[in-house]
Amino acid sequence: MNDQQNTWVMAASGHEVITNTQLSQDVHKLVVTAPRVAAARLPGQFVIVRLGDGAERIPLTIADSNAENGTIVLVVQAVGKSTSDLVGLSAGDHIHDVVGPLGRPSDLVVEGTVVCVAGGVGAAVMYPIAQGLAALGADVITVLGARTAASVVYADELAALGELILCTDDGTAGRTGFVTDALADLLGKRPAAVVYAAGPVPMMRAVAAVTQPRDVRTIVSLNPIMVDGTGMCGGCRVTVDGKMRFACVDGPEFDAHGVDFDELDDRLGTYREFERQAMTHVCRSAG
């Protein structure tokens, strides 16, 4: 990693939450002070945050930044105790540690049509990539999917960068069906130079299945378990083209056609029972 990718930010006073905006039922957008991260970050990079001493380390994509104001944008989906604690923060609260920017920046391909496919909160992962592509003059088409209209996030932001195809499982917004159906229709009409995808593992696997027989280069942003963000712990290891890679330093983006999605999905389930027990404890304590 170069010096820019190895910037560590651990302010003793913590990082202030400037705003906390609810985007959907369980997704919040936090604007947080992190001046050095804001000045250095590039599309595709992330931070690891720790709310306080003894708290879990959570990797989060840097969805946006403002170098002048020294702030970054973090989009958090409450899926367990630690993420629920984060979305429960109010303006003026502090996050103890924000470490980054981490990971390799996105490989931005600007020749020809570029298709960005995002599912659920993956829209916040895709936004800085699409933003970077558009800034370089790429013809960007985004296929954005969600379960219902109420769970759609970042639609307006992505639409501002190019054509937007919105899909919902129940048809309450955009076209009915999965992003892969829309992607297959799109590729049947307009050839693409590259497809980027971010979202749940089953969605990224399905995108790869659509693009591989069409020989379309496909880049996925992976979300394995991470701890230190430096490749030392090995928690984020993934298999790509039969070789072990560490998502925190070799990624988080990889060639989708070489990813072992079965292994990735299995490893992501390692701590699900612990999370369930933690949330059960919290609910009982609150009751």
The enclosing H or E element of 219 equals strand 217-221
- pLDDT value, residue 185: 95
Domain ranges of the chain: 15-102, 113-268
pLDDT of residue 45 exceeding 80, the answer is: yes
Please give the DSSP secondary-structure letter assigned to residue 151. G
Q: How far is Cα 32 from Cα 64, in angstroms, rounded to an integer?
A: 11
Count Cβ atoms below 10 Å from residue 176 Cβ, excluding itself.
Answer: 12
Reply yes or no on whether the pLDDT at 1 is more than 50: no
- Across the range 12-25, mean pLDDT stands at 88
CA dihedral sign of residues 79, 85, 91, 92: negative
- What's 67's DSSP letter? T
pLDDT higher than 60, residue 194: yes
CB-facing half-sphere around the CA of 91: CA atoms within 13 A: 6
Residue 115: which of 62, 56, 164 has the closest Cα?
Answer: 164
Q: What is the pLDDT of residue 225?
A: 72
Residue 201 phi, psi (nearest 5): -55, -45
Instruction: Give Cα separations from 72 to 39, 212, 227 (angstroms).
Output: 9, 35, 21
Give the model's pLDDT for residue 221. Answer: 93
Does position 32 have pLDDT exceeding 60, yes or no?
yes
Of the candidate CATH numbers 3.40.630.30, 3.40.50.80, 3.40.50.150, 3.40.50.1220, the domain formed by 113-268 belongs to 3.40.50.80
Number of neighbouring beta carbons within 10 Å of residue 236: 25
Tokens of 88: 């429960």
Tens-place pLDDT, residues 72-106: 999 999 988 888 999 999 999 999 999 989 999 99
Q: Is the pLDDT of residue 281 over 60?
A: no
Q: How far apart are alpha carbons 92 and 16 in whole angstroms?
A: 6
Residues above pLDDT 90, as percent of the chain: 65
Query: Is residue 265 very low, low, confident or very high in pLDDT (cuts 50, 70, 90)?
Result: confident
How, if at all, do strands 27-33 and 253-255 pair?
unpaired
**15-102: CATH topology:** Elongation Factor Tu (Ef-tu); domain 3 (2.40.30)
